[in-house]
Amino acid sequence: MIGPSVRCVKRIACTATILTAELCGLSLAVDHIVKTKSKQSVVYTDSLSSLRSISTLKTSKNPIIMELQNKIIDA
C-alpha cells in the first residue's frame, strides 16, 4: 500500500495464492483506514475475484475472506 506518506509491507507465505495476496492487501488498506479514522476513503484494486469473494452473502470457509468482511462491516 503506497500513499503520500504511507508505505506498508507484509510478508506472506511464498505458497500463497494470488487471491490470498490480494485479500491481504485489501485487509492492510482497511486496517490503515480504521487506524487513521478516515471518514472518506477509496481503495483501488484490479482483483475482481477478491471483490466478488468479499461481497458474497454466503458464509465463506476462507478465514481471510471472513476476517476482511468483518473488518469492512466494523469500519
The answer, yes or no, to whether residue 33 has pLDDT greater than 80, is yes
- 1 domain residue, yes or no: no
Give the number of domains in the chain. Answer: 1
**Interval 3-11 mean pLDDT:** 77
pTM score of the predicted model? 0.83
- 38 domain residue, yes or no: yes
Range of the domain at 29: 18-74
Distance, CA of 62 to CA of 59 (rounded, Å):
9
- 64 domain residue, yes or no: yes
- 6 domain residue, yes or no: no
- 34 domain residue, yes or no: yes
Amino acid 2: pLDDT: 53
The answer, yes or no, to whether residue 59 has pLDDT greater than 60, is yes
Amino acid 8: pLDDT: 80
- 4 domain residue, yes or no: no
Going from the C-alpha of 64 to that of each of 5, 13, 36, 50, 68, the distances in angstroms are 27, 14, 22, 11, 6
